[in-house]
Amino acid sequence: MPCYPLIDKKGRSHGFMCGENLDIEMCPTCGAGMVKFLCDFPIGEHATCDQKMCLKCALEIQSDIHLCPMHAVFFKDNADSLYLRREIKKRHERNIKKEG
C-alpha cells in the first residue's frame, strides 16, 4: 500500500496518508509534497506557466497567487515591475474564471 508524507511549508513531515486508490499527485520539483498549486507566471499571449507545485515549493506573492521556483527567482529580480505584477494578477483572475 503506497504512503505519501504530509509536508508543511518548512519541509517538516506531519504524518502520512496511505491507501490503495488515493488520487494524489506528488510535486515534480521536490518529489515529497502533494501538488496543491499551479504557477501563475504569465507566458505567451494569454497563458500561465501552470507548473505543478506543493506548498513547500510554491512562492505565494499575493493571496492565492503562486509562482514555481524558477519563476520566483525571475519575479524577485524584477519585483519592481508593475507590468509584471499586473500581468500575473490578470492571468490568475482569467484562470479562476475558466475554472469556475
The domain ranges of the chain are: 3-99
Which position has the grid cell 507590468?
A: 83
Query: What is the distance between the alpha carbons of residues 68 and 53, in angstroms, rounded to a whole number?
Result: 7
Enumerate the β-bridge partners of residue 59: 67
Three-state helix/strand/coil letters over the chain:
CCEEEEECCCCCEEEEEECCCCCCCECCCCCCCECCEECCCEECCCEECCCEECCCCCEEEECCEEECHHHHHHHHHCCCCHHHHHHHHHHHHHHHHHHC
pLDDT at 49: 93
Task: Tell me the pLDDT tens digit for each residue of 53-96.
Answer: 998 999 999 888 999 999 999 999 988 888 888 888 888 887 77
Q: Is residue 1 pLDDT above 80, yes or no?
A: no
